[in-house]
Amino acid sequence: MKTRSGSFNSVRPAAVITILASILLTSCGQQEQSTTAGSADNAPSISSTAVDLVITNAKVLTVDDNFSIHNTVVVNDGLIVETGDASLASRYDGAEEIDLGGKLLMPGFIDSHIHIRGRPQRYIELSEATSIVEIQDLIRAKIEEIGEGEWITGYGWSEDELDEGRRPLRADLDAAAPNNPVILTRAGGHSAVANSLALELAEVTVDTPQPDGGVIEKGEDGELNGVIRERQEIVGRLVPDSTYEEIIASLEVNLNALLAKGITSITDASKSVSDYMMFEELYDNHDLPLPRSALQFQWYDPEAINQLNARVAGGNEFLKPGPIKVFADGGFTGPAAYTLEPYVNQGEYRGYLNMAESELVALLNEVHDAGYQMGIHTIGDAAIVLVVNTLADALERNPRADHRHYLNHFSMRPPELTMELMAEHEIHITQQPNFTYTLEGRYAENLDGWRLQHNNPIRSPMDHGITVAISSDILPIGPMVGIYAAVTRKGMTGTVYGPDEAITMAEAIRAYTLLGAYLNFEEDVKGSLEPGKYADMIVLSDDLMTIDPERIMDVEVEKTWVAGELVYDASQL
């Protein structure tokens, strides 16, 4: 990933042209020599062009316009030179030649909406926790590690995956940590639970007014149960800052871990300019291989964003600024997504916008007029309608060719008119079909009927002509869950939701590769295995094109290349 000087290798598209020209000259020379000799017996041996890597005897999914499937791929200087049938291998002399034994080779996954962070020592990873008892044990172990009185944070619990079938609450945390303030964020990031000491330090009581755009929950006894929806910063603001060293070291490990999942490019959402500077330092001085990254910024400091964009001039092939992130509403784990109709059994409650409607409309217009692309958090159907109407008005007032604004999530199917407006104004989507699987319980509890069946729609916006990429938003990160849910529409219980929203495997693969590149204006350099594009590739344990859909989540990544360099090999673990 780095040259000896410590900087990234420069990927040169001209290298492909040079190699193809060499092939043509070699062919012409061979024809001339053969004519001069006048006899096949005296013809010279066929020479081949030197390249870095030749992979053959593979099922190569190019993900080009025709979704062509080839046998062999040739790589040089970090780029795809050519793909074709088995005879292609004889025309090149690879410094490394690999026979894949018929296994599937495809472009690396491009996760167009994800969150990767460095974590401090006080942090507990909860995504694998299967019970509240296990969470309590993790808290106690962390106290042994860092001592009493210290703040403890964590992320990733989900009541749908806990044996008790419920959320951890204040009393559960108190039992494990009576003398340490604790706040643990639910998977998805839209709610958290705090213990009594953390609430006390934050001066949150039963009399605290409900915050705008959020909820401080109370139990049936009228007392605080510890859960705060959408406004976790009421408590989280008190957590001491982590050291730069522990965060950047952890960030490197967490980014590197994506390569084992076959993810070679990401768009990391909700970052700041200072976050970008940390990424810059990491990408200049890393020890572990890293995926390509684009960072979305929130519009808190437009001047700083403008200055950064001017300084980095679009970034480079491994790190670049991405779209501006705007939060329109909340999520379903609260729930707080802004819906057209009330939630089930919750009176007239329809969730929240993240800010006053007038402020949101003004913000969207401001960012659009500033010339930036936007990726807009819109989960509820009411939020989708409002944002699409606002973008359509902005584009009619101030047209911008190829703006590529898109909606993050699109978790509820909006009215037909809204999708027609999206197609007309080329407003795109990055969708998380994995939510249908991992958030099944939240949808089943809060939605019903047609709304429940059409959660996380994919087929309908695609049929309207809307570009729909697939991403994870870390629920979970592994692409196989999203692909499984996209083609089967199944939740964790095996229930099928809205089979009319299912897509084909080829469509799912394209959405998780080439269309992710498209959202970042990078479809000409990555997302498919075509000549001149980055050699970002993965080998899978099974053939996604023929596998029983019920086995999709068992498929593993065996090898990952970034820029033609092998950066993950399961056989070497």
Is 1 among the domain residues?
no
Is 86 among the domain residues?
no
Is 230 among the domain residues?
yes
**Are 336 and 470 found together in one domain?**
yes
For the chain, give the mean pLDDT: 92
Buried b (16+ CB within 10 A) or exposed e, 362-395: ebbbebbeeebbbbbbbbbbbbbbbbbebbbbbb
Given 473, 488, 503, the domain boundary residue is: 503
pLDDT digit string, tens, across residues 217-242 = 999 999 999 999 989 999 999 999 88
**Are 332 and 474 found together in one domain?**
yes
Q: Degrees (nearest 5) of the Cα angle 201, 204, 210? A: 150
Output 248 or 28, whichever has higher pLDDT: 248
**Are 359 and 470 found together in one domain?**
yes
pLDDT above 70 as % of the chain: 92
**Are 344 and 481 found together in one domain?**
yes
Is 528 among the domain residues?
no
Query: Does 399 sit behind a cis peptide bond, omega within 30 degrees of 0 on the bond before it?
Result: no
Is 418 among the domain residues?
yes
Q: Give the pLDDT band (50/70/90) at residue 19.
A: low
pLDDT digit string, tens, across residues 296-312 = 999 999 999 999 999 99
What's the domain range around 358?
Answer: 328-503
What's 135's domain CATH number? 3.10.310.70
pLDDT at 20 over 90: no
**Are 353 and 473 found together in one domain?**
yes
pLDDT at 174 over 90: yes
pLDDT at 44 over 50: no
Is 215 among the domain residues?
yes
Q: Which of 48, 144, 53 is nearest to 95 (CA)?
A: 53
Is 387 among the domain residues?
yes
Number of domains in the chain: 2
What's 499's domain CATH number? 3.20.20.140
pTM (2 d.p.) = 0.85
Nearest-angstrom CA–CA distance, 181 and 174: 9
Is 334 among the domain residues?
yes
Given 181, 204, 236, the domain boundary residue is: 236
Given 220, 236, 252, the domain boundary residue is: 236
**Are 340 and 194 found together in one domain?**
no
In this prediction, residue 190 carries a pLDDT of 84
pLDDT digit string, tens, across residues 345-361 = 999 999 999 999 999 99
Rounded to the nearest 10°, the torsion over CA 490, 520, 474, 502 is 0
**Are 231 and 371 found together in one domain?**
no
pLDDT digit string, tens, across residues 369-428 = 999 999 999 999 999 999 999 999 999 999 999 999 999 999 999 999 999 999 999 999
In this prediction, residue 46 carries a pLDDT of 54
**Are 350 and 483 found together in one domain?**
yes
**Are 332 and 433 found together in one domain?**
yes
